[in-house]
Amino acid sequence: MNHHIPIPIEELQFGERDAFHEFIKQDKQGSSILDNAFVVPPRIKLNELNSGARTFIVGPKGSGKTTLMLHLRRHQNPAYSGLVLFKSHIRKEDRDALDKMTNIIVVEDQHSVRPDADYKTVWEWYILKNVFRLIPSDAVLSGLDVYRDISVLLEVDNHKFNTIYDKMYVERAKGSIKVSVDFGALKSELGAEVEARRTAEGRMQLLDLVRIIIHSLRMIKLKHDRSVRLYFDELEFFMSDDGDGNRDRRLVRDLLFAAYNMNNHFSEAGLDVNVYATLRSEILGSIKLTTQELGKIIDAFGVNLNWYNDNIDNHPVVNIFENKIRLSEIEYCGSQSGDPLSVYLPDFVGQKDIRRYLLDAGLHRPRGVLLRLKAAAELAFGKSSISSADFLSSENSFGEAMLEEFTEEISASFDESSKAAILGMFRGKHFAFTVNDLEIRLRDAAVKDKSARNLLRDYGINEIVRLLFRVGMIGNQFEIKEHGYSKVRDVWSFRGAADPIMDQRFVLHLSVRKALISS
């Protein structure tokens, strides 16, 4: 059967909400659309990431952190790589599927961690263990005995595990652990060092064990072009019921410190080993409140994803989806459109050019534009193009998806009841407001709602407004006089504004107005 352009809308592979799932799905289908449609984010130098000069990827939700990391993993050509998904709430079927994939470990026991622990040493142990699991013995050029002894001490032959600490108890993270190895099996000088520090009961300090192993790295040399990459993705907080996320801030903070420390140790040992991590901006902001040192490390060794670009006609985010449409056409019928947007999308939605409409609706971020396209495409199933009416009629479903995005961003700082109180300031209210309006709404709610009272006491309305502005849920919109004419001024974080104008009018982002105001 011959297929021609335009192809059915349902054959356009706009993508999945989760880039990791999209890669898995396309790999199973033998497709490479996501990888081939990749566009380097503005101001990002891939050579710095490939070389390990920068190893932290930071950006707001939906900005393409996972996509960039997975692209690196596929194109860095390391001999060995592993991916750690740092999340706890994964459905059982997802866990089962991930368990069957190689070099992927799901970290899912954060809730068992004691809040007063220092986790840097434990994370260093965890990184070492996973790095050595990735290195086969035939990749070692010299220091094979040391490599084997480290592997024994780290128990790297234990391939199936789902927890951070494996057989160790977390309350012993700062203390001693039982080293249950046959010291006769250790062939290098590590045996004597460990034996000297081990008690009669076979225990030793975890810090001592980790430091012995780190000091021994310099005695190992890998064969030429034997590089190792370990990637941490989806570093998330888990807020307790009382809104205290300090435990999880420490977990994530210490993992970032450990990744930085281990990258330095591997470099000093002459090993081509790098640890990468992705992190949401809001989460990093919350951590940096507790330590300035981490901020300096991220500034020096991280990249920040920001897609804003004044050139709407050649915008990198729109280019991603133009690429995806063309690649979908090639996979389906073997040819491609010259201007794919004009073939499948309307020229305007309302009064806005389709490019500007998609960008403004989607916060100038890949996932936002993806959600906008997918919601409209659902209504265009079976057709060969998406109409303006399809976009307008899908505003509710798109709004619910965007509200979920904003709510997850708020989760970096607030628990469930506090999030409900924040969203309650907008439900059923007018989409335009001042800071004073919001404070009155929150004070009215505080009469009966303990969470609202706590928000006013612990944060204040200005801090809440700044957070909502940063994530793009609200922005300034007001009229100014210019050369005798009235002109609307928009101030949004996704358009490059760093701070809100507190004494001017605010509006809800258009995407969530119906979802909140009609609820």
Say what the alpha-carbon torsion angle 274, 34, 88, 98 is, to the nearest 10 degrees.
-90
Range with lowest mean pLDDT among 121-135, 314-328, 336-350, 367-381: 121-135
As a whole number of angstroms, the distance between CA 168 and CA 150 comes to 17
Say what the alpha-carbon torsion angle 298, 102, 67, 292 is, to the nearest 10 degrees.
-10
As a whole number of angstroms, the distance between CA 42 and CA 305 comes to 8
Q: Which one, of 284, 230, 234, 301, lies nearest residue 66 by Cα?
A: 234
pTM: 0.90
Residue 235 structure tokens: 């570093």
* Residues 309 and 316 sit within 8 Å (Cβ to Cβ): yes
Q: Which one, of 78, 21, 26, 35, lies nearest residue 55 by Cα?
A: 78
How far are the Cα atoms of 281, 417, 418 from residue 243, in angstroms, in the given order?
19, 8, 8
- Residue 352: pLDDT band with limits 50, 70, 90: very high
Residues contacting 352, CB < 8 A, separation 6+: 360
| pLDDT exceeds 80 at position 334 | yes
pLDDT for position 89 = 38
* Residues 53 and 263 sit within 8 Å (Cβ to Cβ): no
* Residues 339 and 313 sit within 8 Å (Cβ to Cβ): no
Peptide bond connecting 42 to the previous residue in cis, omega within 30 degrees of 0: no
Residue 327 exposed, middle or buried by CB count within 10 Å (0-12, 13-18, 19+): buried
- Residue 357: pLDDT band with limits 50, 70, 90: very high
- Residue 313: pLDDT band with limits 50, 70, 90: very high
Residue bearing tokens 């898995």: 24
Residue bearing tokens 């080293």: 179
Instruction: Give SS3 for 232.
Output: strand
The side-by-side arrangement of strands in the sheet containing 474-482 is 432-433, 506-508, 474-482, 485-491
Average pLDDT over residues 184-193: 84
Cα angle value 241/500/234 (rounded, 5°): 45
Any idea what DSSP says for residue 137?
A: G
Range with lowest mean pLDDT among 61-70, 76-85, 238-247, 338-347: 238-247
Q: How far is CA 244 from the centre of its chain?
A: 21
- Residue 299: pLDDT band with limits 50, 70, 90: very high
Average pLDDT over residues 422-444: 97
Which DSSP string do the residues of 445-466 spell out, in sequence order?
Answer: HHTT-HHHHHHHHHT-HHHHHH
Range with lowest mean pLDDT among 14-28, 78-92, 119-133, 293-307: 78-92
pLDDT for position 108 = 54
CB atoms near residue 310 (< 10 Å): 7
Average pLDDT over residues 137-149: 95
111 or 9, greater pLDDT: 9
- Residue 141: pLDDT band with limits 50, 70, 90: very high
Average pLDDT of the chain, as a whole number: 87
Range with lowest mean pLDDT among 111-125, 444-458, 461-475, 500-514: 111-125
As a whole number of angstroms, the distance between CA 33 and CA 22 comes to 10
pLDDT for position 85 = 79
For the chain, what percent of residues have pLDDT higher than 70? 85
Q: Which one, of 184, 190, 120, 118, lies nearest residue 154 by Cα?
A: 190
pLDDT for position 425 = 97
- Give the pLDDT confidence of 219-260 residue by residue, as tens digits: 999 998 899 999 999 887 655 555 556 767 787 888 899 999
29 or 399, greater pLDDT: 399
| pLDDT exceeds 60 at position 483 | yes
Residues contacting 419, CB < 8 A, separation 6+: 407, 410, 411
Query: E strands of 38-103, at which residues?
Result: 56-59, 80-86
* Residues 49 and 303 sit within 8 Å (Cβ to Cβ): yes
| Residue 460: HSE in the Cβ half-sphere, 13 Å Cα cutoff | 3
pLDDT for position 156 = 83
